């Protein structure tokens, strides 16, 4: 499990109200306890205090930098992408995680990140195999059955969620989980404006889970070639925007409990990222940073995962860290169980702190 050092600051603050009222500071009040508390409050103290607000051990900010080939990080280095390297230098990470096995395309991989599922529907996957904005589609229709997500689990546990994306095709998520996604903001190919909004939301709201998708590197890669000079400049821009989120975290005491999980949907080299059998496409970074997270290589910290070298492991046998681990790691960080029906890290074993 994740926590060896649990941050309790936020929990402590939120528990002041319950100490003055009837309920205790349990993570989840039972229905009868809530009922009696409400009755007592309404009878003697006016409106009930916000005692039912769920306190989580962290806030999770998931960031996906679309098409972030880890080679861009090593090529640019700490001088040119300081914020991404800060996450690596202070957090637990690897530059050798894997995308979904079946496809290295944007929407299938992001759906994997939020559901913890593989792609192929006939094998329990989410079934999202398209990569454009298709009105009326849902993950549930793609899979042929109900599919839960990190948004659903967090919302049902009393937490608030938000999605910020630079691609309209991400509207799939609010259609699929209209209750679970509390806020969905899409600004097509406007990374800077999106980050401004996401940053304001992070500061002003108390989201348990926020997903931020930055598309500028992918967009530039398609226009000018992945790993081209223009693409590398776009990665620098993405780094600057990540830095704005980190500055908000640094500067606001209320955000001292934010844990960042940063990964990518796929990499890319040359003209494309569509061949799932190419190393440049299936290799992605995966970095976790924040309170309670130790610095280190995720493979060194997790004996149950195997560094795949340059290989592309299938879904049986020793497993690499995958971008699809994001959902259940995020839930673990929040003290919640896994996404029902998920596959990646379903036992929530991925550790980000040294024992």
- Residue labelled with tokens 């398209």: 130
Q: Which is nearer to Zn ion, 106 or 149 (CB)?
A: 106
Distance of CA 48 to the CA centre of its chain: 33
Residue 191 in contact with Zn ion, rule: CB under 5 A: no
Q: Which of 191, 218, 257, 325 binds Zn ion (CB under 5 A)?
A: 218
- 283 beta partners: 98
* Minimum distance, C-beta of residue 313 to Zn ion, in the bound complex (Å): 21
* Minimum distance, C-beta of residue 269 to Zn ion, in the bound complex (Å): 14
* Minimum distance, C-beta of residue 165 to Zn ion, in the bound complex (Å): 11
Tell me which residue has its CB nearest to Zn ion.
Answer: 106
Choose the binding region for Zn ion from 44-52, 134-142, 149-157, 210-218 (rule: CB under 5 A). Answer: 210-218
Residue 265 in contact with Zn ion, rule: CB under 5 A: yes
Residue 100 in contact with Zn ion, rule: CB under 5 A: no
- Please name the residue ranges forming H helices in the chain: 9-14, 16-20, 31-44, 70-80, 82-90, 106-115, 139-143, 150-156, 171-176, 191-204, 216-224, 229-251, 279-282, 298-301, 326-333
Q: Which is nearer to Zn ion, 29 or 219 (CB)?
A: 219
Q: Are 97 and 64 in contact (CB under 8 A)?
A: no
Contact characters 304-323, Zn ion, x per CB under 5 A: --------------------
* Minimum distance, C-beta of residue 217 to Zn ion, in the bound complex (Å): 9
> Is 92 strand, coil or helix?
strand
* Minimum distance, C-beta of residue 253 to Zn ion, in the bound complex (Å): 35
Q: Which is nearer to Zn ion, 164 or 305 (CB)?
A: 164
Using the CB atoms, write b or e for 36-63: b if 16+ within 10 Å. Answer: ebbeebeeeeeebbebbebbbbbbbbbb
Q: How many Å apart are CA 287 and CA 97, to the nearest integer?
A: 9
* Minimum distance, C-beta of residue 16 to Zn ion, in the bound complex (Å): 44
Return the number of other C-beta atoms located less than 10 Å from residue 220's C-beta: 21
Residue 66 in contact with Zn ion, rule: CB under 5 A: yes
Residue 106 in contact with Zn ion, rule: CB under 5 A: yes
Q: Which is nearer to Zn ion, 174 or 265 (CB)?
A: 265
Residues at the interface with Zn ion (CB under 5 A)? 66-67, 106, 218, 265
């Amino acid at each position: 499990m994740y926590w060896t050092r649990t941050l309790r600051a936020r929990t402590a603050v939120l528990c002041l109200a319950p100490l003055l009222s009837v309920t205790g500071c349990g993570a989840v009040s039972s229905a009868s306890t809530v009922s009696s508390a409400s009755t007592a409050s309404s009878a003697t103290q006016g409106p009930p205090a916000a005692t039912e607000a769920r306190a989580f051990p962290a806030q999770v900010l998931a960031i996906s930098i679309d098409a972030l080939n880890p080679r861009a990080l090593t090529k640019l280095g700490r001088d040119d992408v300081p914020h991404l390297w800060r996450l690596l230098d202070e957090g637990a990470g690897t530059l050798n995680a894997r995308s979904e096995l079946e496809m290295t395309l944007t929407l299938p991989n992001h759906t994997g990140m939020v559901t913890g599922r593989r792609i192929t529907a006939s094998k329990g996957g989410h079934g999202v195999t398209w990569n454009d904005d298709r009105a009326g589609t849902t993950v549930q229709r793609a899979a042929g059955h109900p599919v839960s997500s990190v948004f659903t689990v967090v919302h049902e546990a009393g937490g608030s969620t938000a999605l910020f994306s630079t691609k309209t095709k991400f509207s799939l998520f609010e259609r699929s989980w209209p209750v679970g996604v509390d806020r969905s903001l899409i600004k097509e190919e406007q990374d800077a404006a999106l980050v401004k909004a996401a940053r304001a939301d992070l500061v002003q709201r108390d989201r348990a889970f926020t997903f931020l998708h930055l598309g500028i590197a992918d967009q530039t890669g398609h226009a000018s070639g992945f790993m081209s000079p223009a693409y590398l400049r776009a990665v620098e821009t993405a780094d600057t925007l990540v830095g704005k989120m980190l500055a908000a975290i640094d500067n606001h005491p209320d955000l001292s409990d934010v844990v960042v999980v940063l990964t990518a949907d796929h990499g890319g080299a040359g003209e494309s990222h569509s061949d799932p059998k190419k190393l440049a496409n299936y290799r992605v970074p995966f970095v976790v940073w924040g309170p309670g997270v130790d610095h280190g290589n995720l493979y060194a910290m997790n004996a149950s995962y195997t560094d795949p070298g340059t290989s592309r492991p299938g879904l049986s046998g020793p497993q690499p860290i995958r971008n699809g681990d994001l959902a259940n790691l995020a839930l673990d960080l929040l003290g919640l169980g896994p996404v029902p029906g998920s596959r990646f890290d379903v036992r929530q074993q991925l550790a980000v702190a040294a024992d």
